[in-house]
Every structure is written in structure tokens, then in C-alpha cells.
Amino acid sequence: MSRFGNLGGKLYRGEASYDFVGKRKLWYGVTLLLMLISLVGLGARGLYMGIEFQGGAVFTTPPTQMSIEDARETAQEVSGTEPRIQELGSGALRIQVTGLDNEQSEKTRAALAEELGLETQELDTELVGPSWGDQMSSKAIQGLIVFLILVSVYLAIAFEWRMAVGAMGALMHDLVVTIGVYAIVGFEVTPGTVVGILTILSYSLYDTVVVFDKVKEKTRGLLKQNRHTYGELANLGINATVVRSVNTSVVALLPVAGLLFIGTGLLGGGMLKDISLSLFIGLTAGTFSSIFIATPIVVDLKLRSPEIKAHDRRTLAKRAKGGDGAEDAEEAGAGAGARPSAEPTAATAGSVGGPRSPESGSRGRPSGRRR
């Protein structure tokens, strides 16, 4: 078995542990930083909406020797708008110009055909109206809202409301980071992008539910024992699933990366690139959020419960007196921020091999007066 497989087995059995929950403030800081960068990029650059949302025209040339710069110069001179040009795998060009009406579209088509040495009708043209994009945007937002509501209700029923809140926090992270990357890099938002974002939200939720299920299993008998706090047991649940989450994500990212970096290079752009790009960003963000964000949020909400607070106080008090579970707590990772004491206290010194009291006699002789 490989070293990674051995590590996964040890994490699952609780023989090794990383303190995900105890370091949750660090992960909160990283999460807030990523979201802040994404929001700043979104506010500064905005999203470049595709032609399906803004309206305009798409011109697809046959295989040609015309350079991208020549095509851009010709289209911009006639339309007054800077076009987006993509070279397709066959050597053809896809020239996209937003905000054109019918008259402007025909002028641009004629100019491009003349530059290419073609008849006007030989240049494939697709005209898209902005009303279709507006309708699609509203439907996508409605679908996202319905999705989030149904997910919250399901998690609240199947698990508890705290886990529903944790899952929503993780999904918001994935959504903001994915949109922020699109804004910062300047990727075009198309219907394929919308499909990809909805897909990665579903994948991230699936990964989070798997972690929650293990956390629920580990914490089921919490109040019947005084060896672990809630945070420690939740941390064991994350450790038991972290290797599975990483493996699943890597397996999912490999074909997506193939579509993004190889498929689009050979077959050109279009819907294939738009879907794979959002999937690649979202899968990476979703793996992070399901491990480092969702369960720590649940732990913080749980620690506000009086019942959980009382249990953790009893557990830590017993551990401070030298009770059982100190070594178990080290393996679990002190999710509540506590560390067991390595030295016996004064109250337990006598029971751990301290000096005998004078009343017990000496050298095994019975006490009393000699005759």
C-alpha cells in the first residue's frame, strides 16, 4: 500500500490526526481573504457577459490565413466595438461583437467578407438579441435561489439547522471565488458558465454532506462520554473523510483539466471551454470549503449550546485532574482549543505513586507499642 493510502487508513481509524477544527480561525482568515480579493476584483473589473446576455453578432469564418489582429482591426473599425476573437481548431476564426443591431451587423459582415476575399453570404453570421440573455439571467437566478432553499431545508431535516448554515457558508465561498476569478482574469460569462457553476455547487454540497455524515456518526454518543469534546469528535470526522475528499476531487479534476487544457486546444473554444473552466475553478474551491469551512462553522455554532458547553467543561475538568482520555484527546486534535496536562496534579499525586503517609507504618511492621 502507498504512503498516502497508509496515511488515509491511519486518519480514518483515528491513529493520526490533523487539527482542522482547532485551527479554524486560520481557515476563516484564508476564506475571508479569498472572498475579499474576489469581491474587489468583481467590483473593479466587473463580469464580461457573453453575447448571449448582451446581444450582438457572431461571425464564423472558414479556414483562413487572416490573422487575429487583422480581423480585430477590421471588425472594430466598422462596428466601433472591440470584438472578441477566438481561433478554432480547424484554423477558422470566431469573431464576436456585442451590442450590434441588424444594420451594424450587415456592415461588419460585409467588411469582414471583403477582407477575407469571400462573398458576403459565405461568412456565417449569428445574430443574438439581448432579450434572450435577460430572460436567461433571470431564470438562472431563480434556479439558484430555489436550489439554495431546497438544500437548506433538506440539511435541516436530515441533519440539523447548524449544518445547513455551515453548508450554505461553504457554498457562498465557492460561488464568490468562482465569480471573482472570472472577473479578475476577464473570462467571458456564457450559458455554459452558468451550467458549470450550478454543477460545482451540487458537487460541493455532495462533498460537504459526506463530511457531515461522518461528523454526525462520531458525535452521536457525545453526552454519554467524558473523554472527548464536541470539537475533538468533529475533528475526527473530518480526518476520517479528508483523504476520500481529496481523492474524489483529484479524480474529478483530471478529466475536467483534460477538457480545459487539451480539448479546447484541439477542438477550439465554445461551450466545452466555458463549462470546463467553471468546473475546474469550482471543484478546487469546493474541496477546500467542504473540509476547512463547513464543519468548523458547525462547531462554532454548537459550542454556543448550553448543553454542549456544560459537557465540554466537564470533559476538560476531568482531563485536568488526570482522568482518562488525555492521550485520546491528543490523537483527536484538541478541537475546542484545550491541551491535556502532561503532569499529575497535587490532587492526584497520592494515587499515581506519591509518597506514603506516616500512618501507613514503615518496613511492613504493624503499628503499636513494643513489648
pLDDT in tens, 304-345: 999 999 998 998 988 888 755 555 555 555 444 444 333 333
Q: How much is the pLDDT for 13?
A: 60
Please, what sign has the CA dihedral across residues 6, 12, 16, 21?
positive
Confidence of residue 297 (pLDDT cuts 50, 70, 90): very high
Computed over every residue of the chain, the mean pLDDT equals: 78
Ranked by mean pLDDT, the top range of 116-120, 284-288, 324-328 is 284-288
**How do the domains of the chain map onto residue ranges?**
3-49+132-302, 56-128
Mean pLDDT of 105-109: 83
CA distances from 270 to 86, 132, 165, 191 (A): 9, 18, 36, 10
Q: Is residue 12 predicted with pLDDT exceeding 80?
A: no
Closest to 279 measured CA to CA, from 296, 295, 297, 263:
263
CA distances from 146 to 149, 150, 189, 199 (A): 5, 6, 21, 14
Task: Provide, rounded to the nearest whole percent, the portion of the chain with pLDDT above 70.
Answer: 78
Q: Is residue 17 predicted with pLDDT exceeding 60?
A: yes
Answer for the pair 151, 71: CB distance below 8 angstroms, yes or no.
Answer: no
More confident residue, 356 or 169: 169
Compute the distance between CA of residue 203 and CA of residue 32 in angstroms, rounded to an integer: 22
Q: Express each pLDDT in 134-167 by its tens digit.
A: 777 788 788 888 888 998 898 899 889 999 999 9
Q: How much is the pLDDT for 361?
A: 40
Confidence of residue 367 (pLDDT cuts 50, 70, 90): very low
Asked if CATH classification 3.40.50.300 holds for the domain at 56-128, the reply, yes or no, is no
Look up cell 456585442; give the residue.
98
C-alpha cell of residue 275: 463549462
Answer for the pair 96, 81: CB distance below 8 angstroms, yes or no.
Answer: no
Buried b (16+ CB within 10 A) or exposed e, 156-182: eeebbebbbbbbbbbbbbbbbbbbbbb
Q: Which CATH architecture is the domain 3-49+132-302 placed in?
A: Up-down Bundle (1.20)
Confidence of residue 11 (pLDDT cuts 50, 70, 90): low
